[in-house]
Amino acid sequence: MARDLCFTGRSVDAPETLRMGLVSRVVAPDELSSVVAEVAAQIARVPRELLIRTNTKALRRAEMSVGATLDL
C-alpha cells in the first residue's frame, strides 16, 4: 500500500485513508478544533515518561520494519 502511494503519487480521500489504516479517525472540518482539543487533553493526562517510552519503542519498531523490508 505505502509503495503504491509513493510510486504512483495517487491521491486518496479521507474515507479511503481511514479504510487503509493510515489515519485513526476522520472528522468533519467544523469538528476538527474540538476533536484536536479532546485528543490533546487525553494525551496531556498520560504521564510524560510513559509517552517518551512509548514513542521511543514505536520509533525503534518503525526503523526495524523499514530496515527489514529494504532490498539491498
Model pLDDT for residues 7-37, shown as the tens digit of each residue: 999 899 999 999 998 899 999 999 999 999 9
Instruction: Answer with the residue of higher pLDDT: 60 or 71.
Output: 60
In the structure grid, which three cell numbers stand for residue 34, read together? 474540538
What phi and psi values does residue 51 have, to the nearest 5 degrees? -60, -45
What are the residue ranges spanned by the domains of the chain?
Answer: 2-69
- pLDDT confidence of 62, banded at 50, 70, 90? confident
Integer Cα distance of 33 and 11 in angstroms: 24
Predicted confidence at residue 6, as pLDDT, reads 86
Predicted confidence at residue 65, as pLDDT, reads 60
SS3 41: helix
Integer Cα distance of 64 and 19 in angstroms: 25
Q: Is the pLDDT of residue 51 over 90?
A: yes
The Cα angle at residue 62 between residues 36 and 54, in degrees rounded to 5 = 55
